A and B are shown apart, each in its own frame.
Chain A
Amino acid sequence: MNYLPYAVAAWLFLVGLYGVTTSRNLVHLCICLSVIQSSSYVLLLAIGYRTGRPAPIFKDIKPGTPAVDPVVQALMLTDIVVEVTVIALLLALAVQVHKRNGTLDPSRLNEIKG
């Protein structure tokens, strides 16, 4: 078992969280969210990967041959679709924030407190 993909996933997760926490720009913040999300992609793919096994397309290979797990790939694709919506929505919000407040810095948007 190769631990590298899991280490990469953990690293992406933490570095993305750090980015969101310290971000001074909403667009940058959205990208950091995508970084956290990439960590779950790496994790999913690492879980489904079988060393030396073919892709799960049973056209040329005999059915029943062990292959890479297609379920996690389907999960990942679904997740990409869902998250594109959310990131697009957040970027649209960032555009609106910039239009009204003239800034993208979350620490200069302090209407809400307490």
Chain B
Amino acid sequence: MQYAPVLPVVIPLFAAALLAALSKLLPQRVALGLSLLATAATTAASTFLLRASLSNTVVYWFGGWSAHGGKTLGISFAIDPIGAGLAAFAGLLTFLSLLFSAKYFDAADNYFYALTLAFLAGMSGFTLTGDMFNLFVFFELMSAAAFGLCGLKTEDPSSLQGSVNFAVTNTIGAYLVLTGIALLYARTSALNMAQMGQTLARTPADKLVMAAFAFIVCGYLVKAAVVPFHFWLADAHAVAPTPICVLFSGVMVEMGLYAVARIYWTVFDPSLHPFLPHLRILFVAVGVATMVVGGIECYSQRNIKRLLAFSTISHMGLMTVGVGLFNVAGLAGTAIYTLGHGLVKGSLFLGSGILLHRTKTVDESELHGRGRRMKWAGIVFFLGAAGLAGIFPSGLSMGDDLIHESAKQIGVEWLKWVSFFAAGITAAAVFRVAVRVFLGWGSPASHQRGAAPKEKEKPETESGHDRTPVWMWAPAVAMVLGGLLIGFAPGLKPGTLRAASRFEDANTYAARVLQGTPVHSSAPEEEKTQEPWVGLFILAAAAIISLANVKSKGFRESVKPLIAPLRALHRLHSGHVGDYVAFLTFGLAAFGLVCIFTFR
């Protein structure tokens, strides 16, 4: 198994090339079978690497160009459990969404499968690599495949606008990353992350290092869709084919945060460690803003896919806080939260895919009461709302708990109230959709004022269908149950904590990559058990708010004063790519100035 480390990249890339070359010859069913097979093999390879890396970080040098005397010329994969786990999770979600897509498209292009596999190859490589420029190249592979997938449904005019916004903002993000890499290379003459970190540690951080840090972090935060870089995400999700939304929300945006964490802990930690308190304030501020803006926007949407996309933004805020607290519990919490969130949010997207398949619309008002006979989609939405509220033992509740624990260690315990608000409002939004669509409560016309203007979602399937094929509801139900029950997985919490403490140890990482010193993973102390009732309480609050919104006229009257500021917030999400880039530039400038002038 000498070559096992490259399999998660080679298998899907090879299969993608094969499918693209034979796309005219292969019948759709064969192409689907082949891509399912390749995805399953990729997931198996990543899982194997996850198991292998539990005891020791797996280092693979391409072409045998290994490190000599702490210096590197070659490119390495440095695989630890968090990276391999994310790769395996990406494989799992890809498999489930491919299953869903089996009956979803009436006429799927074989290019769809080729692009999905290329996307998976990009994500796998991204999580496994130990080289700064290699990380950037996989980032671009993943992004280019994602742009293609987002624009694939080209019969829809809005699809093009969403894809253009997505491609332009993320490409600028990639340029930011490249500029940062160039600046760092100028200082360190290295591209291997371990070697860069060790070289930077020799001198105190100066303005060049700060500027490089700002460029790289902002570039990856564009992908992570945090405020003010988040605008593209809702547009891209509203228009991308639904099975692809599962991957966008479930793993792709989390990859941005993964890169921030990976780069901080391998490259910058040795030199920026004295500035950690400042960095924490910066990341917590960004994360809180993201949670609040995402949550409010989420509740005020009528397009269900867009609503779910804003809910992803809100949850990304919490994950940004988890990564940005820069301690073991925060990172471990974010990792578990990613699993829970990816499964629950993925199932909700599949649920909205079922709605689109059956009724040809995802507009909440148009769908009023039309979901009464779609029992599986209804189950998914109600369970999904419970999952987003963070009921025990979902992955979200466990992750939430660890992040709160981490906030307590840093001394910012109030953060948990913000996260309760974000969980509550996103759960309330999904609950509102569920009672109106699947139970038919409330009056059909009572859509909210200030909500998005009517937006035609041209169906990806040609006509409405009378029944939901098992291929569609089974993955959705499996995902939501998985997300809700993952907290019972034995060894998940201690294992993730151990993996996170290894992830955050820059010197051990560098010794492993550069000298081959084995890692001695020490078991961190067990965190205290969580309070299972908190999630139930949030769910109850969310249910009350959404029922009041649907049923009570008085409630709707009483929230009227909020509509004007809400309108202003909506106007910022203009759909105009120039505005989004202006916000991106502003965010970069603000982040850079904070880094350069306060870290001294």
Contacts and interface: CB of A to CB of B under 8 A. Distances in A.
Interface of A: 13, 17, 20-23, 26, 29, 33, 36-37, 39-40, 43-44, 47, 69, 71-72, 75, 78-79, 82-83, 85-86, 89-90, 93-94, 96-97, 100-101, 106-107, 109-114
B172 A36 contact: yes
Interface stretch (B61-69, B161-169, B505-513): B161-169
Contact of B185 (A13, A72, A86): A72
A20 B172 contact: yes
B223 to A, nearest CB: 14
A17 B172 contact: yes
A47 B578 contact: no
B26 to A, nearest CB: 23
Contact of A33 (B143, B172, B238): B172
B532 interface: no
In this complex, the interface size class of chain B, counting residues with CB under 8 Å from chain A, is 35 or more
Nearest to B165: A112
Contacts of B133: 75, 78
In the A-B complex, the 10 residue pairs with the smallest Cβ-Cβ separation, listed nearest first, are: A114-B452, A111-B158, A112-B575, A114-B570, A47-B186, A82-B140, A21-B578, A109-B161, A40-B178, A100-B157
B576 A93 contact: no
Given A39-B179, A71-B191, A89-B147, A114 B301 contact: yes
Interface of B: 133, 137, 140-141, 143-144, 147-148, 151, 154, 157-158, 160-165, 167-168, 171-172, 175, 178-179, 181-183, 185-186, 189, 191, 234-235, 238-239, 300-301, 451-453, 455-456, 570, 573-579, 581-582, 585
A69 B190 CA distance: 12
Given A33-B172, A86-B147, A86-B171, A113 B160 contact: no
Contact of A114 (B164, B183, B453, B456): B453
Given A79-B178, A106-B161, A111-B161, 14 more contacts: A17-B585, A21-B585, A33-B171, A36-B175, A43-B179, A44-B182, A75-B178, A93-B160, A106-B164, A106-B576, A107-B578, A110-B161, A112-B455, A114-B300
A71 B164 CA distance: 32
A76 to B, nearest CB: 9
A22 B168 contact: no
A44 B452 CA distance: 44
Contacts of B141: 82
B570 A43 contact: no
Contacts of B147: 86, 89-90
A109 B168 CA distance: 15
Contacts of B235: 112
Contacts of A90: 147, 164, 167-168, 171
B137 A78 contact: yes
B179 A89 contact: no
